[in-house]
């Protein structure tokens, strides 16, 4: 009995130990999560030939952290709370002991004497395994007074004083790259995620970029120094002299905002051209742009573009068609038909959304398309439902059908047809072929087959 109690006690001790270990491990994981939510304030002071930097990490959790100062940093130092020297794992080194208190790094970086522009990249002390929820940069400029600083994130404050210029940048995340331009850059906030810096008047269509809201904060520099539209350090650069700056910048921002399948990424060019009104070099894309602008009113086009910019998951050609129906009440497969940019342009047809019946039976396999003043219906499914037998369809662009002794031979590219060996004709060719599917003008149905199309607001009946 005593032995059983002893064994049971050992078993319970093992179970309790395992539970405590799991709880401790869970606590450890939660503690690690805190490392990813640090905040920091960085004070930068630029004098004649150097940057003096003070980087304060708020409450670094307990643990050991590998520290790396910028490669060319000098006068590096580390202070814990109350300005005491940091505790290193093995004396003075690069592995720091955190104790849940603030940590301050100070160091200096060399600065050029008289640049036309300058990048301050990878300039912060790095704590490996740590990420930041918020960074505030306070920059004091004593030397380069005739230019301006910019960053990839929000300019929270800027003030030019008698002896200094003062900037405050704020960012969700780690240190931003800082950019200086010898010209005086004027920030213009387009929306809560997009700021554009210019050397004077904004050479862009503001209405376009007020609507184009990036998924993350982006700054754009329009500068006479920039030679081409490029991206660097989270900043987008646009040459001030570029004639198609609107279209180029819109395309660049759209690529960051919209996700498309690789084979449909060219639709970015179409969307950018529709937003800016810019003619496109690609003939198919330009033809599609003209088609859309001729079919949609200005209000419909604006609502459709807004819906595209609001898509949270991946965009696609089918989604673009769906959004056209939901915003403009136009059902079509225009974008799906034209999804491959290398294939010939396919014309725009409205798709009638009403229920379709043939001789009282629902015809879900048939479509009705409308273009200009002509209405077309799926031809092959229709003749089958009307009781015709297909004798031959082996010749391209031709079909032979019969019913109760009447034999028709139709040529899809011609205005003539044969009926029981006699050649007859139409005023206009009633057929068109759309991606191998044949359609016929409904106006020809009564003359050819003696059937009529009766319609109301909800359905279409052919009988």
Q: What average pLDDT does this structure show over 57-74? A: 91
Q: What average pLDDT does this structure show over 235-260? A: 88
Mean pLDDT score of the chain:
88
Q: ∠ CA 310-313-316 to the nearest 5 degrees? A: 90
Question: CA–CA separation, 203 vs 226, rounded Å?
Answer: 14
DSSP character at residue 426: -
| 443, containing H or E segment | none
Quickly list DSSP for 355-369: EEEETTEE-TT--EE
Q: Per-residue confidence at 26, pLDDT binned at 50, 70, 90?
A: very low
Quickly list DSSP for 283-313: HHHHHHHHHHHHHS-HHHHHHHHHHHHT--S
Distance from first CA to last CA of the chain, Å, rounded?
94
Domains of the chain, residue spans: 35-182, 184-246, 258-337, 350-462
Q: Which residue has the higher pLDDT, 6 or 112?
A: 112
Q: Which residues contact residue 95 at a Cβ distance below 8 angstroms, ignoring those fewer than 6 apart?
A: 64, 65, 66, 67, 88, 89
> What is the model's pLDDT at position 99?
86
> What is the model's pLDDT at position 36?
59
> What is the model's pLDDT at position 3?
44
Q: Which residue has the higher pLDDT, 371 or 409?
A: 409
> What is the model's pLDDT at position 34?
44
> What is the model's pLDDT at position 233?
79
> What is the model's pLDDT at position 35?
59
Q: Please say if the pLDDT value at position 97 is more than 90.
A: no
Instruction: Give the CATH superfamily of 35-182.
Output: tricorn interacting facor f3 domain (2.60.40.1730)
Q: Please say if the pLDDT value at position 283 is more than 50.
A: yes
- Give the pTM: 0.77
Bridge partner list, 196: 188, 220
> What is the model's pLDDT at position 91?
63
Tokens coding 184: 């005086």
- Matching CATH number, 350-462, of 3.40.50.300, 2.50.20.10, 3.40.50.2000, 3.30.457.10: 3.30.457.10
Radius of gyration for the chain, computed over Cα atoms and rounded to the nearest angstrom: 35
**Pairing mode, if any, of strands 459-462 and 218-223?**
unpaired
DSSP character at residue 147: S
Q: What average pLDDT does this structure show over 219-248? A: 85
Question: CA–CA separation, 367 vs 218, rounded Å?
Answer: 45
Question: CA–CA separation, 288 vs 292, rounded Å?
Answer: 6
Q: What average pLDDT does this structure show over 382-404? A: 91
Q: What average pLDDT does this structure show over 116-125? A: 91
> What is the model's pLDDT at position 41?
97
Q: What average pLDDT does this structure show over 140-157? A: 91
Q: What average pLDDT does this structure show over 208-215? A: 91
Q: Per-residue confidence at 334, pLDDT binned at 50, 70, 90?
A: very high
Q: What average pLDDT does this structure show over 300-319? A: 94
Q: Please say if the pLDDT value at position 111 is more than 80.
A: yes
Over the stretch 398-423, which tens digit does the pLDDT of each residue have? 999 999 999 999 999 999 999 999 99
The reply to whether 350-462 shares the fold of 35-182 is no
């Amino acid at each position: 009995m005593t032995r059983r109690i002893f064994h049971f006690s050992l078993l319970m001790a093992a179970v309790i130990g395992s539970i405590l270990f799991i709880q401790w491990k869970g606590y450890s994981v939660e503690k690690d999560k805190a490392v990813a939510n640090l905040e920091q304030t960085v004070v930068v002071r630029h004098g004649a030939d150097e940057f003096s930097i003070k980087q304060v990490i708020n409450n670094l959790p307990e643990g050991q952290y590998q520290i790396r100062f910028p490669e060319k940093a000098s006068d590096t130092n580390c202070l814990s709370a109350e300005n005491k020297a940091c505790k290193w794992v093995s004396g003075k080194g690069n592995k720091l002991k955190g104790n849940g208190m603030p940590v301050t790094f100070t160091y200096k970086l060399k600065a050029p004497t008289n640049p036309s522009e300058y990048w301050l990249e990878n300039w912060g002390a790095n704590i490996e395994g740590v990420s930041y929820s918020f960074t505030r940069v306070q920059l004091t400029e004593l030397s380069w007074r005739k230019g301006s600083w910019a960053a990839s994130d929000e300019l929270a404050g800027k003030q030019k004083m008698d002896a200094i210029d003062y900037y405050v940048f704020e960012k969700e995340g780690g240190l931003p790259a800082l950019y200086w331009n010898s010209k005086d850059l004027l920030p213009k906030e387009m929306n809560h995620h997009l700021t554009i810096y210019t050397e004077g008047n904004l050479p862009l269509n503001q209405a376009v970029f007020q609507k184009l809201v990036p998924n993350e904060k982006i700054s754009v520099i329009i500068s006479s120094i920039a030679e081409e539209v490029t991206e660097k350090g989270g900043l987008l650069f646009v040459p001030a002299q570029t004639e198609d700056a609107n279209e180029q910048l819109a395309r660049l921002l759209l690529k960051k905002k919209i996700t498309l399948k690789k084979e449909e990424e060219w639709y970015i060019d179409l969307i950018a051209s529709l937003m800016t009104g810019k003619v496109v070099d690609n003939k198919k894309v330009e033809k599609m742009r003209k088609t859309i602008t001729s079919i949609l009113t200005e209000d419909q086009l604006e609502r459709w573009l807004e819906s595209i910019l609001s898509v949270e998951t991946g965009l696609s050609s089918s989604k673009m068609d769906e959004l056209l129906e939901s915003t403009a009440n136009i059902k079509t497969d225009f974008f799906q038909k034209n999804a491959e940019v290398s294939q010939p342009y396919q014309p725009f047809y409205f798709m009638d959304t009403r229920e379709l019946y043939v001789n009282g039976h629902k015809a879900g396999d048939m479509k009705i398309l409308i273009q200009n003043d002509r209405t077309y219906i799926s031809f092959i499914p229709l003749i089958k439902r009307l009781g015709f037998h297909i004798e031959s369809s082996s010749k391209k662009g031709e079909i032979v059908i019969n019913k109760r002794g009447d034999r028709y031979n139709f040529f899809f590219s011609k205005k003539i047809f044969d009926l029981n060996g006699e050649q007859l004709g139409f005023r206009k060719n009633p057929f068109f072929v759309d991606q191998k599917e044949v359609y016929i003008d409904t106006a020809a149905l009564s003359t050819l087959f003696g059937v009529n199309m009766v319609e109301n607001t909800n359905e279409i009946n052919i009988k």
